[in-house]
Amino acid sequence: MKEEKLEPTGKFFDKAYETKSIRELAKAPVTAMSGASELDAKHSKKAFGIETVEDLVNNKYVNLAPGINFLSACTGEIFDKKFESKEFWNLAKKPVSAISGISKGDAALLKKAFGVKKIKKT
């Protein structure tokens, strides 16, 4: 089976990774992503054990935040009034350390690495 190439990758990955296959990109270090520095990678590894692009996209916290943000944006739109809740809207405004399993120290590293302070990055 022929490995598919992801086109165009230049927008998301450094030049050295532009011709890599999807499988190779998944195994690439976090620093392969455009804008991710060695220091960003160090903070990601220390806080969450993230070393590769695959680790990043499979991280439960990385995957949880968009779900909270989606439900936050839909509050008042997808539920009947009697079931409406501002819970997700309020949660999206909380610091990432509000998520069980993310310590204040890990949240500080996430802020240093990617500038993320709150669950919903504004």
| Cα distance between residue 50 and residue 45, in whole Å | 4
Note whether 120 and 107 are within 8 A (CB): no
Check residue 118 and give its pLDDT: 87
Amino acid at 74: C
How far are the Cα atoms of 41, 61, 76, 77 from residue 92, in angstroms, in the given order? 25, 13, 15, 16
Q: What is the pTM of this model?
A: 0.69
pLDDT in tens, 15-71: 999 889 999 999 999 999 999 999 999 999 999 999 999 999 999 988 888 888 777
Our CA dihedral for 5, 11, 15, 19, rounded to 10 degrees, sits at: 10
pLDDT in tens, 87-112: 777 777 888 888 888 899 998 998 88
